[in-house]
Each structure stands twice: as C-alpha cells, then as structure tokens.
Amino acid sequence: MQPKPIRLGTRGSPLALAQAHEVRDRLIAAWGANAPEVEIIPISTAGDRIQDRPLAEVGGKGLFTEEIEAGLLSGALDIAVHSSKDMPTVLPEGLILGHFLEREDARDAFVSLKHRTLAELPEGAVVGTASLRRAAIVRRLRPDVVVVPYRGNVQTRLRKLGEGIADATLLAVAGLKRLGMLEVATEILDVESFPPAVGQGAICIESREEDARIADLLAPIHHAPTAIALAAERAYLARLDGSCRTPIAGHALVTGDRVDLHGLILTPDGSVAHEGRESGADPEGVGDRLGARLAALAGPGFFSGS
C-alpha cells in the first residue's frame, strides 16, 4: 500500500507557490528514491482576499496564516510553507516553526521604470508600498517624496508601476530571485541603511508540535544557522510586540556560535528612529535584550504616536 502523500499548504500567489515547490524539490533531492509524494494545496487567505485596505487596519500578519494553520490543526494539512516575515510571533497552540530553508538574500530592492535609485528620485515622486517598515524608512531617508499604500503580489505591483500609479516601489530581493525576476530591480538597498523585515528572505515550515514523522522527514532540509538567526529576530520582535501595525526592522547574522543582531524601530512618519545592536551566543537572549533596550529608548506610546 502506497503511503499517503504529504499535504503541503501554501498561499496561492506565484511567489508562495514557488516557495512551496522549492520545499518539495529539496525533499525529493534529500530523500531520493525514498522521497514521499508531496501534494501542494493552495489556500486562499484573508490577507490575499483583502486588497483595498492596509493590513494594519484589518488584523495584521495573521491574515496570511489563519486558514492554513486551521488546516494543520484539523489534520487536513501535514506541513505549511510560509515566508518567515509573514509569521506572527505567537503561533496557535500545538503548532511550531521547527524547520527553515537556508536564507536567501535578505535585502530590499528599489524598483522603478523611471529612476535608477532611491536617492535619485525627484522631490514629490510617489513611492508605493504596503509595508509600514519600508514606508517609514523611505520617509526617514527621503522626507521630500510621497509614500502611498500599494498592495498586491509582485506581478500586481509591477503592473501598477507600468500604469503610473507610483514612480517606484520596493520588493524583497529574495522574492524576485525565487520568481526569476531579479532583473526588474534597479537598486539593491544595503542592509545597514535599509534594514529588512524580521525573517525576510527565509522560508519556514510550520507543522504540528508532536508530529515526529514530519520532523524526521524535514530534518535533512533544515538549515540550523538560519533557524538561529530567526530565533534572535523573532525574540526581538516579540519583545517589541511587533506586528503589521509597527515599523520594525531587524537582521541577524550568525558566525560560528555568535549572533549579531541589528535592529531599527521608527515612528510611521520616519521622523523619529531608534537603532541598536546586540551580540551573544544565546539567540533568544540577544533578541530579547535588543528589543527591551529599543523599547526603553522609545518609551510608551512610541508606535501609537501618543
């Protein structure tokens, strides 16, 4: 009797499907003749369906995961593949982010049909982005440009550029690479001056906590240094109570047993920012300490503007 296929849940966007296929391909490569059949199951999430409002107004990051996680909890799915930056810091009871693929490039790309770089944008140019982090950093670096809400998948955002809705946008380099579209980037932004979202560039695999069979299956494709970096970044985000409502950037690098974490928090208008670094051997401790330090610098009401 043939074993049942592994049921992999994912969002249905081209990028999400590319990430799901990458996980499946790596499982096949790792297990060879013993590789299980993997059935990719696209799932429409509330975050994909709601396109007329910023995510901050309708519930934040969980809108991209709730329906998929319900499938894991019910047993309809065995694993779920996500972009790590979409994941809330608190998961439903019984679910874990236990496995990560090796992180891709974490940087952001500036994309424009008219201008080569963010610095070369003329005064009053329009930058479209759905990310509060990207919007706040753009406003910090270029307070003379106009930032407007701009949602949709990569293809939709590029189409809007062609229609003249904005002069430029910002996209994750990792996503462009996975779609084979890196050539649309006109500038790759440095992680120091334009730090990425927590988890950017890393594919994570969510599963049931007690499912030893799935843990054994995923072990050969797990990248431990990426998991360590994400542990630091997610602990930092958790300390700041970060969500889609807050402009927070964080990026960890792992060298041997050392974790170096860079963090930046901003007011939504980019006018006030607090930045810091923390290092150590314990990733969760590094993230928690940096988050606590930046929260203390910011004071109560920083993100709400009160």
Of all residues in the chain, what percent are helix, strand and coil, respectively (each to 5)? 40, 25, 40
* Alpha-carbon gap, residue 196 to 134, rounded angstroms: 8
Q: Is 219 left (phi over 0), alpha (psi -120 to 50) or beta?
A: alpha
Backbone angles phi and psi of 140, in degrees to 5: -70, -45
Provide the pairing of β-strand 126-128 with 258-266.
unpaired
What are the strands, taking DSSP E only, across 158-216?
A: 168-172, 187-188, 203-208
Is the separation of the CB atoms in 213 and 98 below 8 Å? Answer: no
Does the annotation count 86 as an active-site position? yes
- What one-letter code names the amino acid at 82? H
**For residue 205, what are the β-bridge partners?**
81, 99
**For residue 99, what are the β-bridge partners?**
205
* Alpha-carbon gap, residue 123 to 130, rounded angstroms: 21
User: Residue written as tokens 């005064």?
Assistant: 123
Active-site entry in 86, 105, 167, 211: 86
Give the residue numbers marked as catalytic.
86
